[in-house]
Amino acid sequence: MENKKTRLGNGTVTLIEQGGITIHCYDTADALADAAFLIEAEDALVGLELPSFKADSGSWKGYIEALPRRVDAFFVSAHPAGGSLVGDTPVYATRKAECAMHHGSTQATTDGLGAAFGPDFQAADKVKVTDVVEPGDLRIRSLQLRVVDQGDVYDLVIPQAKAVYMHMLGKTVHSIIPSIEAAKAMASSLEAYLDEGLEYFLSSHSGIEGRDAAQEKIRYLDKLVGLASASADGQSFKQAMEEAFPGYAGGNYLDMTVGMLFA
Yes or no: say if 142 and 44 are a contact pair by the CB < 8 Å rule.
Answer: yes
CA angle centred on 44, ends 43 and 47, rounded to 5°: 160
pLDDT tens-digit series, residues 113-159: 999 999 999 999 999 999 999 999 999 999 999 999 999 999 999 99
Residues 232, 235, 237, 240: what is their CA dihedral angle, to the nearest 10 degrees?
-120
pLDDT for res 3: 72
Yes or no: say if 35 and 49 are a contact pair by the CB < 8 Å rule.
Answer: yes
Q: What is the mean pLDDT of residues 205-211?
A: 96
Contacting residues for 62 by C-beta, under 8 A, at least 6 apart:
none
Q: What is the DSSP letter of 81?
A: B
Please state the φ and ψ torsions of residue 225, each to the nearest 5 degrees: -60, -45
pLDDT tens-digit series, residues 70-82: 999 999 999 999 9
At residue 258, does pLDDT exceed 60? Answer: yes
Yes or no: say if 23 and 15 are a contact pair by the CB < 8 Å rule.
Answer: yes
pLDDT tens-digit series, residues 219-252: 999 999 999 999 999 999 999 999 999 999 999 9
pLDDT for res 1: 52
Q: What is the distance between the alpha carbons of residues 143 and 160, in angstroms, rounded to a whole number?
A: 8
pLDDT for res 263: 83
Please report, for residues 122, 124, 180, the alpha-carbon distance to residue 119 in angstroms, rounded to integers and kept in the order given.
Answer: 6, 9, 36
Q: What is the distance between the alpha carbons of residues 171 and 218, in angstroms, rounded to a whole number?
A: 10
pTM score: 0.95
Q: What is the distance between the alpha carbons of residues 159 and 145, in angstroms, rounded to a whole number?
A: 7
Please report, for residues 61, 179, 221, 224, the alpha-carbon distance to residue 235 in angstroms, rounded to integers and kept in the order given.
Answer: 44, 17, 18, 14
Is residue 173 exposed (0-12), middle (13-18) or buried (19+ Cβ within 10 Å)?
A: buried
Three-state DSSP state, 232: coil
Q: In what order do the strands lie in the sheet with 143-150?
A: 136-140, 143-150, 153-158, 163-166, 200-203, 207-209
Yes or no: say if 156 and 138 are a contact pair by the CB < 8 Å rule.
Answer: no
Q: What is the mean pLDDT of residues 40-68?
A: 97
Residue 26, strand partner residues: 13, 36
Q: What is the distance between the alpha carbons of residues 263 and 257, in angstroms, rounded to a whole number?
A: 10
Q: What is the DSSP letter of 246?
A: T
Yes or no: say if 155 and 189 are a contact pair by the CB < 8 Å rule.
Answer: yes
Query: H helices then E strands: how many in the chain?
Result: 7, 14
At residue 112, does pLDDT exceed 80? Answer: yes
